[in-house]
Chains A and B, each alone.
Chain A
């Protein structure tokens, strides 16, 4: 079943009187349980595409189905609800709340959840997640007391707190060294494998993209390669020819 279905997505920014087309008709499908890398040079439109996929922005025209639901015409509040229920984000710069313990950082998104979760349940869920990312002994540490890799793992735990179907990672290793990058990427692979969460890695680094089962290349607002899932048997290596 297709978790994401994009059809002819256009996005045009208006800079004064000049229209700047960024996405020029993108069609893409992602099945549930995939681990996809979204690659492209800067200015190629990959960030815009990620914003639209992540419901942070809306397209100028085109159809976007997420989990069988047409969400291209939603209001900002409606998109906030979708983000809260179905999507998790991991950012390049971690974006943890300063002077706030790892546990509270992980619990934070639950503040905006409509579902009735008691405080104790929330803490328990957050503790489990932190244990799963290997930070069970650092629940009450501030971000300042954690290393970059640990911070990113807290961020991953945070993105999982609402049990999303879809996880976006925007250059998740951009601020990390090679060793911790590998750890974090393996964490994504593990989550994808064990939990069946669909993960989209946005990156310009082929080394990162190599960890994905499929690579979608975007260039100048159009998808160059990888728009559909490759046939079975081919998905054990990166597609799209990493040099």
Chain B
């Protein structure tokens, strides 16, 4: 112990004897480590920003669809089973810790009318306010989202996507206006921010969002067909004059109950099914775990035995997740390359100066050997000198790197993120650079012959 203490003191002393050279030598490592830290922090910031962007495209989204229903050998295709309920969504939010947000979705496809213009939006989604959170869409262009209370009440309120706003309102503000969806009047409470096309090229702004209760019970009526319901029967409210000519399929077989009868025998609350549940996992890495949790939970809730197939499917955005992880990997590797190069350059600088130092101090080495230093004592001393230089360089480098990234953050407003791994790695790497690049000169010094070293001019 004492030996190490003495060695370190001797090394410090030797470094102090040539302060300027020590500083210049360390400069290589300082700049190297500072570059590593700054690059890692700026890179982490950029990488985080890129990840956020990709995540907002829905990389961490999961789509839970009901399975297929079949009757007499005729399959009705995916999503036709009527077993998915809004309660499933509540249960997922409650019992799956890897799920950040989730919303049930009821789809409809029908005509939307305002004043003299009409449009059939690509998506009419009945959902809950959490849908915006799931899709990273919480920033509205105008107005406010509808509330949970609107969902409970089945309020006739809606949010419009930018395409719909353009088609129906042109330059007007739609807030507070009433639009008609299949003859149901909806008040526009807000407009969504522009999101653009998704990865398949579908316009995501061609959307109308309303409480799922309203869409389910007032607009769509039946489960979810993606058929254009405006073309088939309009409801029996009689505003459409063609109703009389082409009566809808609903034929009343029984006499309508009177008000008293209706009050006396309330219909049981109808089992409400939804077309899909959209869920956001905590992160894109967590989505695989979230799929597992959701599958387990829903199998239990739907009372599916172990040997039976599921009556639902959970889909994740594998393509996007892949893009995300490959982007992150690329960034990390790129930064690692830059870091390695700058540290190797710094290390070569250290080796160079240590070699010069060994040559210059040959007589000193000879003297130390003459008074009893063994080869390994000399080796240790020079190694400790190199490592001390590198560690000091590492310490200053961390400070400088943090300062640089802070300046970049505050002056250029680039995103940066503190990277503890970078700091730990920088210290470890600078110490090992010291050992690796200090070893050759130290070894050379330890192999000197004391007689020749003492005579060295």
Contact = CB atoms under 8 A, between A and B. Distances in A.
A binds B: yes
Given A80-B373, A108-B371, A109-B372, A51 B451 contact: yes
Interface in A63-93: 76-77, 80-81, 83-85, 88-89, 91
Among the interface residues A56, A113, A162, which one has the most CB atoms of the partner chain B within 10 A? A56
A77 B451 contact: no
B449 to A, nearest CB: 8
Interface string B374-405: 11110000000000000000000000000000
B377 A95 contact: no
Given A100-B13, A116-B2, A57 B451 contact: yes
Contact of A111 (B7, B376, B451): B7
Among the interface residues A80, A95, A162, which one has the most CB atoms of the partner chain B within 10 A? A80
A83 B373 CA distance: 9
B8 to A, nearest CB: 11
Q: Is the interface of B mostly helix, strand, loop or mixed?
A: helix
Interface in B336-368: 363-364, 366-368
Given A100-B13, A111-B6, A111-B7, A85 B372 contact: yes
Nearest to A111: B6
B17 A112 contact: no
A98 interface: yes
B10 interface: yes
A88 B372 CA distance: 10
Contacts of B108: none
B323 to A, nearest CB: 60
B426 interface: no
Given A81-B372, A83-B371, A95-B366, 11 more contacts: A54-B370, A76-B375, A83-B370, A84-B372, A84-B373, A89-B371, A95-B454, A99-B18, A111-B10, A112-B374, A113-B372
18 contacts: A51-B451, A56-B450, A57-B451, A77-B376, A81-B374, A83-B369, A83-B371, A84-B371, A84-B373, A89-B370, A91-B454, A100-B17, A109-B371, A111-B7, A112-B368, A112-B372, A116-B2, A162-B371
Interface of B: 2, 6-7, 10, 13, 17-18, 363-364, 366-377, 450-451, 454
Interface of A: 51, 54, 56-57, 76-77, 80-81, 83-85, 88-89, 91, 95, 97-100, 104, 108-109, 111-113, 116, 158-159, 162
